[in-house]
Chains A and B, each alone.
Chain A
Amino acid sequence: MKRRDFIQQLSVGSALILSGLGLQSFIPSSKTTKITILHTNDVHSHIDPFGSNVGRNSNTGGVARRSNLIESIRKENPNTLLLDAGDIFQGTPYFNYYGGALEFKLMSMLKYDLATIGNHDFDNSIDGLYAQLPHAKFEFVSANYDFTNTVMDAHVKPFKIFKIDGIKIGVFGLGIELNGLVEKSLYKETKYLDPIEITQDMSRVLKIEKNCDLVICLSHLGYYYKNSPDRISDLNLATTTKGIDLIIGGHTHTFLEKPTVVKNIEGKSMLINQVGAYGINLGKIDFYFDADKNKSAKGTSIIV
């Protein structure tokens, strides 16, 4: 009897799968999958909101408010990733007193998924950064910092792939040249590798080898340097490489009115976004995927 029940249940299960298969095969799918990428950069230990007497930043920011905003967005779309583009540390006494522990604990409570490393994250030396890692429930990516001969070795990966609702999202990290910006005694044996070469490699690995539907670069290179236009920056990286859909930037504390649409080396449109600093803004980029050939034939529309 028991065996028969089992078989019957199995048959029902198979039938359901069959009908599921039927739907997939014969009715043109109109299901759109929406992936939401939320991001911050250069929060610089700004845990409390600004007071009411600091000019245009008055009454903005604050981790507790950011938390509620993120929760409401996640409720609306569970297919959400939360990323940070570096310089988590340094800027308020919270960092001086607790060395970054509180920043990492709060980011973990907000369920950050991934971050890259900014120059100020070395301010208590690479050992100070390493010491706070147990407080971070999220991971770090950096493709152009070689940590081989440092304590951070094996704690930072070049990239991470997320699979959300059938969509494969590859995120790789890029850091700024440390020499001249951070004392060598702080970053120690961290090696800086050329961001353009690394990006060419990363976009090939993620887009072609790993078959990612979406490639995101989490960068602390800086948006653009007006006074040294040839210096590597997010804008220059975007126009000289291919395979990236979105660059989330940091370092220059650039308050963009809206995300920048640029053409990569192949002429394909992509986005760069950076949301200033101090947790004043949250960036939100929604990607819509569809299997309908009629819709996809029109190409990708970008609305900013």
Chain B
Amino acid sequence: MRFTLLFFLLNFLFFSSCKEEKLHLIKIEGKQIKITDSLSSNQHIEDFIKPFREHINKDLDSVLAYSPNTFTKDDDELNTALGNLMTNIVFSQGNPIFNKRTGKNIDAVVLNHGGIRAPISEGVITTRTAYQVMPFENKIVVAGIKGNKVNEIVDYLVKSKRAHPFLGLKILLDQEYNLIEASINGKNIDENKTYHIATSDYLYNSGDNMSFFKPNESMLNLDYKIRNAMIDYFKKVDTINPVRDDRFIRQ
């Protein structure tokens, strides 16, 4: 017993002396190491990832449709075949859902030029194409806004001089980009009427400085990702046929 006590006592002395001996920070060295292909890969990790990668690649590379040409968002000024296709997809995939839930129809679609992240190349369209064009998780929302707000949309589009994709509206400019006339579904924009505009939740929340969706008369989130709408649309069509038209031009 005496020895045990001594043992504890010595232990106590040992550790308490350690504690008194204060350690001081004397030097800090900081750097970053670039992960390059000169580093070897951990085979165990590599083997673990492989089945997940193969599953995704198989799915992403499955052919959904065919594109007769290469379409980019910069093919033309003010409106492009690719942008028009995107608005067609949002309308044709979104409107049945909106109509089923509200009994109403989407009057117009407004997206943004920056939201198209890649071209659609000539040849096969795969799920990967949809991920490349639309990598974001944005969902389709439909805002009910008064005609005066629709006029704000027109102002925004005119000032931007960019090919922000839209559908349902028609905007005519002169050579100096001044507004000549604007209409919605072939009619004048009625300041007091409520129009249902489909857009992305990103733009609805004032993304790309689109401040006209709020406040509003109504708002419905379709809980339908734009990318999934694209995939569903590509599954339905055999060959896409995007066209540039006169919805937004100078004369």
When distances are taken between beta carbons in the complex, the residues of chain A under 8 Å from B6 are 14
Contact mask for chain A residues 272-304; partner B; CB cutoff 8 A; 1 contact, 0 none:
010100011111111111110101101011111
CB under 8 Å from chain A, chain B span 158-193? none
- CB contact under 8 A between A289 and B35, given known A14-B10, A106-B48: no
Residue of A nearest to B25 (CB): A300
Q: In the complex the two chains form, is A68's CB within 8 Å of B39's CB?
A: yes
Q: Mark B56-96, 1 if CB is under 8 A from A, else 0.
A: 10011000000000000000000000000000000000000
Number of A-B contacts (CB under 8 A): 183
What residue of chain B has the Cβ atom nearest to residue A98's Cβ? B52
Check B27–A282 contact: CB distance below 8 A: no
A225-246, CB under 8 A of B: which get 1 and which 0? 0000000000000000000011
Specify which chain B residues have a CB less than 8 angstroms from the CB of A94 in the assembled complex.
52, 56
Q: Is the CB of A106 within 8 A of B23?
A: no
Which residues of B8-25 are within 8 A (CB) of A?
A: 10-11, 13-14, 17-18, 21-25
* Contact of B137 with A by CB under 8 A: yes
By beta carbon, the residue of chain B nearest A24 is B17
Whether B10 and A24, one on each chain, are in contact in the complex, defined by CB atoms closer than 8 angstroms, is: no
Q: How near does chain A come to B6, taking the closest CB pair, in angstroms?
A: 6
Contact (Cβ within 8 A) B49 A245: no
Q: A63-B45, A280-B34 are in contact. Are A291 and B24 (CB under 8 A)?
A: yes
- Interface SS majority for chain A: mixed
Answer whether residue A161 sits at the interface, using C-beta atoms and an 8 A cutoff. Answer: no
With A and B bound together, what is the CA distance between A33 and B24 in angstroms? 10
In the complex, chain A residues whose CB is within 8 Å of the CB of B201 = 183
CB of A102 within 8 A of CB of B14, answer: no
B23/A102 in contact, CB under 8 A: no
Report the separation of the CA atoms of residues A282 and B31 in the bound assembly, to the nearest whole angstrom.
Answer: 9
Which candidate, A5-13, A144-152, A190-198, is the interface stretch facing chain B? A5-13
Q: Does A206 contact B (CB under 8 A)?
A: no
**CB of A6 to closest CB in B, whole Å:** 9
Verify if B102 is at the interface (C-beta below 8 Å from A): no
Contact indicator B49/A284 (Cβ below 8 Å) = no
Whether B30 contacts A288 by the Cβ 8 Å rule is no
Given contacts A21-B13, A60-B36, A68-B41, contact A167 B7 (CB under 8 A): no
B13 cross-chain contacts in A, Cβ below 8 A? 21
Q: Tell me if A302 and B26 are in contact (CB < 8 A).
A: no
Question: By the criterion CB–CB under 8 Å, are A102 and B25 in contact?
Answer: no
Q: Is the CB of B32 within 8 A of A48?
A: no
**Cβ-based interface call for A55 (8 A):** no
* Interchain residue pairs with CB less than 8 A apart (12): A11-B3, A21-B10, A25-B17, A61-B35, A90-B137, A97-B55, A98-B52, A166-B23, A282-B33, A282-B35, A283-B30, A295-B24
> B: which residues have CB within 8 A of A?
3-4, 6-7, 10-11, 13-14, 17-18, 21-37, 39-46, 48-49, 52-53, 55-56, 59-60, 131, 137, 201, 205
Given contacts A97-B52, A303-B30, 20 further A-B contacts (CB under 8 A): A14-B3, A17-B10, A18-B10, A20-B14, A21-B10, A24-B14, A29-B21, A60-B34, A64-B42, A65-B42, A93-B56, A109-B45, A275-B32, A281-B34, A286-B28, A288-B25, A288-B29, A296-B24, A300-B25, A303-B29
